[in-house]
Amino acid sequence: MSRRPGAPVPQPVERLPLVHRAADTTSALARSKVRAGVWERAGHGAYLPVEGGDPFAVARRRALAAVAAVAHGSRAPVVFSHGTAALLWGLTLWRLPERVHLLHPSRAGGDRDRGIARHTSAIDGAEIAEVAGVRVTSLARTVLDCVAVLPPLDGLVVTDSALAAGLAPSALAERVLAAAGARHIAKVRAVTALGDDGSESAYESASRFVVLRAGLPRPDTQVRTLTHLGEVWTDWGWPTFGVLAEYDGRDKYDDRRAFMAEKRRHDAIVEAGRRVVRVVREDVDDDRLLLARLGRVLPRAVVAAARPVPALGA
């Protein structure tokens, strides 16, 4: 595990969005504001002022508003968990939670709100923290809960982000060890063992997941290469084999200057004796594409020795 100097660090949410409670207004006023496009529903009995912006940022704000709605509408203190806790911790997610997740020490009664997912599980005070004024599961507990219920790829994205946020690998390993015998423990062990704090985006984690699930050697993250331009860092790869990988998002080169700067960077890495595989979203959506491309540049013996990992959904 290594980190690029100046790499972003996930930060907990500081405050939840302002929501308007239905109890504090009239139903007629609320309906009129929704029809006018001024408010939108943020959950049961709550409304969020409509704002524009980046689609993902808008979706994230809606998800946080749903948390605020539950927090304001609950008569007793609640503990937010699973994907909702990950969202509050500011962790990277492969997909935003569709419902608000709550943790209960015992089985709750009938739940009429389809926007809330209630989980029954024991929890002690050491596994509860406060973020944005609400109670959430601790960072380590959040990772375990997410990995247990989410697909392995989603779980690795959360694990990588939690490690980048400062969760110590030893603390995570201890928590996994203490969960021996729990449901989905084989998947939890397999996914968390592959966590790496060097991943800086969901697609960096996802592209690495393709490699790990296929049974190829574990790649290094944030690989440093000395070139005539100075130090250059790539997302992941195998320095021993001289093969590096770089994820290219669609918005990475927003103008010609950025494109030319990246071309110079790429050429410098190649001139330093490395082979660079440019990874795009399609390589993750259909992992056969990425594995075929890597198979052409990795040593044949390495590719032949690879065996898919069942615990990762192979």
In tens, the pLDDT along 118-177 reads 998 888 889 999 999 999 999 999 999 999 999 999 999 999 999 999 999 999 999 999
Q: How confident is the model at residue 1 (pLDDT cuts 50, 70, 90)?
A: low
Average pLDDT over residues 50-61: 88
Residue 27 has pLDDT above 70, yes or no: yes
Residue type, 59: A
Query: Given a cut of 60, is residue 108 above it in pLDDT?
Result: no
pLDDT of residue 305: 97
- Read off the pLDDT band of 107 (50, 70, 90): low
For the segment 16-26, the average pLDDT, to the nearest whole number, is: 86
What's the pLDDT band for 2 if we cut at 50, 70, 90?
low
User: pLDDT tens digit string along 180-227?
Assistant: 988 899 999 999 999 999 999 999 999 999 999 999 999 999 999 999
pTM: 0.92
Which residues have CB under 8 Å from 147's CB, separation 6+?
155, 158, 159, 184, 187, 188, 191, 192
% of the chain surpassing 70 pLDDT: 95
What's the mean pLDDT in 226-252? 89
Q: How many CB atoms lie within 10 A of CB 120?
A: 10
Candidates 240, 222, 242; CA nearest to 231 is 222
pLDDT score, position 77: 81
pLDDT at 121: 84
165 three-class SS: coil
Q: What percent of the chain has pLDDT over 90?
A: 67
Question: Is the pLDDT higher at 106 or at 295?
Answer: 295
The residue assigned the tokens 């690998």 is 169
Give the residue among 202, 256, 265 at the shortest CA–CA distance from 229: 265
Alpha helices in 133-280 (DSSP H): 139-149, 152-164, 169-178, 185-192, 202-213, 256-271
- Res. 302 pLDDT band, cuts 50 70 90: very high
Distances (CA, A) of 1 to 221, 236, 252, 302: 6, 10, 24, 21
Residue 249 pLDDT exceeds 80:
no
Q: Note the pLDDT of residue 157.
A: 98
Q: Which residues have C-beta within 8 Å of that of residue 236, sequence separation ≥ 6?
A: 198, 199, 204, 207, 208, 219, 220, 221, 222, 223, 244, 245
- The answer to whether the CB of 82 falls within 8 A of the CB of 145 is yes
What sign does the dihedral 226-229-230-234 (CA atoms) show? Answer: negative
pLDDT score, position 106: 63
Max intra-chain CA distance, the chain = 70
Could you give the angle at which helices 169-178 and 185-192 cross, rounded to 10 degrees?
A: 170
- 17 class by beta-carbon count within 10 Å (0-12 exposed, 13-18 middle, 19+ buried): buried
Distance CA 215, CA 246 (A): 20
- Across all residues in the chain, what is the average pLDDT? 90
